[in-house]
Amino acid sequence: MSQELRAVEWTGTGLALIDQTALPHRTATVDVHDVDTLVDAIQRLVVRGAPAIGAAGAYGVAIALLQGEREGWTESETREAVARVREARPTAVNLMVCVDRVMTRFDDGLDAVLAEAAAVQREDVEANRAMGAFGADWLLKRVGADRPLRILTHCNTGALATAGWGTALGVIRELHARGRLEVVYADETRPLLQGSRLTAWELVQEGIPHFVQADGAAAGTILRGEVDAAIVGADRIAANGDTANKVGTVGVALACADAGIPFLVAAPTTTVDLSTPDGAAIHIELRGEDEVLEWGGIRTAPAESRGHNPAFDVTPGRLVTGLVTERGVLEVSTGELPGDRLR
């Protein structure tokens, strides 16, 4: 089922987005025909995951063109609407890269824009398939186990987070297809539970054995020797290998370093931002306080408490054992840096 899953799909007149806020209890679609709806969908995490947001942003240029034609916008107004889409989430570099790519066809008209957006989506699926194979090969060689592997992952990096197949979850799916996967530990991923709601849902579709665990349990699971490797995705990777990913990732990396097991980041080259020298230059999105002060709309913290809610953290490159892209694996912690190899 998840092989055919498309979080972002062009319908001919607009976008159909799987509403990831409704899963796993209900499968619903949000139809997008205007820029306001798309920006809201990106910010509310109806669509999420750096590659999926990138695909949505790519088609967002077409959304703006169509809306501008309906409402009589000037070219300047249409470009301003595209800029709003581009800036909807500041940390995930794929959104900006994909919008900028499609905008190179802006003056050629709607058909050219749609063709470029479709290419963005198609190339992401191809890249995910390639990194799945590269990542599985690297892990099996690196771990050297003669048994199926036990893998920990954080947040959601599957078909829902991409144009299809998945990044880190794509590596996991490849291991499963080869009969080399024993079990997955899926961190629940606070504050919106992308792990327990979305990753677990995708693993169920694939028939992959798994446990959902609290984020705070991850380090202990790793240090008890219950995990052979951790695989995560990324929202932005700096030239020196520092990696921004969903908050909680850096704790997983630290535990892997202490336990001496691989910490693998899986992301397409569109997630690598060579103009960002290191993690200190990555803008970290702060989300609303209610996501940590409330649960299901009910206040759980004292009224006087304030909420600190960074959506991401930055894992230093020295903790990244390997970075797998569609071009292969860089062993970042040994000095193979994106800024040197991916230019």
DSSP 3-state helix, strand, coil percentages of the chain (rounded to 5)? 45, 20, 35
CA 256/CA 250 separation, integer angstroms = 10
Q: Three-state secondary structure along 49-84? A: CHHHHHHHHHHHHHHHHHHHHHHCCCHHHHHHHHHH
Could you tell me how many residues make up the chain? 343
Mark whether 258 is an active-site residue. no
Q: Which residue is catalytic, options 235, 242, 273, 313?
A: 235
Radius of gyration for the chain, computed over Cα atoms and rounded to the nearest angstrom: 19
Phi/psi at 17 (nearest 5 deg)?
A: -110, 130
Q: What angle do CA 161, 167, 341 make, to 5 degrees?
A: 125
DSSP assignment, residue 233?
A: -
Question: Would you name the residues annotated as active-site residues?
Answer: 235
